[in-house]
Amino acid sequence: MITIFAYTLLSTGFVLMKKGVAWIGFKGKKDRTYYENLSLWILGFILINVYVVPNTIALRYLATHLVSSMAGWGIIVMIFLSYLILKEKLYRSDYFYTILIVISIIFLHFFEYQAGEEKANISVLVTMASLPLFLLLPAFLRFVSKRVKTILLAALSGISAGLIIVMLKVLVTFFGFDIPSYFSSPYFYLYLLFSLIAFITIQVTYKLGQMMTVGPIQYSAIILYPALCSFFVFSKHIHVVQLVAISAIIYGVVAILKRH
């Protein structure tokens, strides 16, 4: 339930920021509309940063593949809030994919295998954290097409966002909720690094490419990479039904984003 709350906060924040974005670049007298938009944008910004608190609590008890897959729930909240607040269109297919995602999330949790105390393989973690950075190199080569650069950076943004979840998992695994101890851990600064990379690269991809390309790749990576880390870094057993559920969630998310 706490992950549902976390991703509801995150999606609500994104919608509110979009609703109030008109304050940026506003010209003329700062009237009531300006301050209303500014207030909505600030509230949205607060929500997308506060969401990390319930997510961290959830990671103390749940595997990374369970938490990251809840991004599918976040997409559902986003499209329905966009309909209610932003007056954006809903499609019939949205209802079908919403049901698909919800059922997949239920199966994902139902088949979760609870083992003993969790441990992180640090050498594998370093490898998993380093690999995505190699996507940066071809993105700066002149002969690489704009579309390929968009795909690479969108993937890097999604993987970085996924690694934020992984680093939080490592922190709560080693230190629990002893927050002051986080500041002496290198994993906290890796968390900040990947937060920065995720933010910068997604801004660049928005400028380079269309949302139809960026969104599906980013969200697929957000869900998939923590699942890989769950298996390789935390040695979690992932049932074949869970693999199918994760695939169905990714499929539903991609289908919704492409339609919108």
Burial 123-152 (b: 16+ CB within 10 A, else e): eebeebbeebeebeeebeeeeeeeeebbbb
Q: Residue 141 — φ and ψ, nearest 5°?
A: -85, 135
C-alpha 79/C-alpha 259 separation (Å) is 11
The amino acid present at 37, given as its one-letter code, is N
What's the whole-number mean pLDDT along residues 142-155? 79
Assessment of whether the complete model's pTM goes beyond 0.85: no
Res. 100 pLDDT band, cuts 50 70 90? very high
- Location of structure tokens 């919608």: 15
- How confident is the model over 178-218, as pLDDT tens digits? 889 999 999 999 999 998 988 888 777 766 655 556 667 88
DSSP string across 134-189: GGHHHHT-TTS-HHHHHHHHHHHHHHHHHHHHHHHHHHHHHHTT-HHHHTTSHHHH
3-class secondary-structure state, position 116: coil
